[in-house]
Amino acid sequence: MNRFLGAVALAAALCSGGAAHAGLITFDNPGVIDIDNNTGIATYGEAGFVISGSATSFLPLDGAMVGGFDTTPFMLSLLGGGGFGLQSLDIAAYDLGFGPGTLALVGLLGGMQVASLSVDLANPGSVVFDSSWANLTSVSFSASGGFALDNISSVPEPGSFALAGAGLLLIGVARRRRR
């Protein structure tokens, strides 16, 4: 009976972390970009994520997010905060009249860089990210040329710490009962 109750408690703990649902940002039906007139910061939300940065740094256009108008980076983060993993995205050069350039992507966890990638915009395509792009709080995009992003695939991270805490609690209770 004790093993059964333990199994039920473990299953409940594992379910309490919530499911991770993939978000696909396609920019096919772009919504409104909110611009704060006092700060000049623009925000755009889609699929549970938010893109924010200088109002001159990005624009949803032609079914893609276009950037590179200046060197100011813009950020992708989970709406409401939290961790997520970047899985893949499509990158294309976007002609702004001064040639292709380089796109710099930086993965951040709590403001600290944990991953980075530089993409030559003369050779655009799809990028699939490895495990170093998991458990991020934001991704920064900046470029020395015009670029377009599409089909950004991200997965919110489940409550890993809540799951680990629940597991440790169950182990502690089990040990105490044995004594």
Q: What is the pLDDT of residues 48-68, one digit of tens each?
A: 999 999 999 999 987 999 999
* Average pLDDT of the chain, as a whole number: 83
Q: Give yes or no for residue 12 having a pLDDT over 50.
A: no
The full set of domain ranges for the chain reads 1-19+158-179, 20-157
Q: Give yes or no for residue 146 having a pLDDT over 70.
A: yes
Cα distance between residue 162 and residue 166, in whole Å: 6
Q: Does domain 20-157 have CATH number 2.40.30?
A: no
Q: Token pair for residue 172?
A: 């502690």
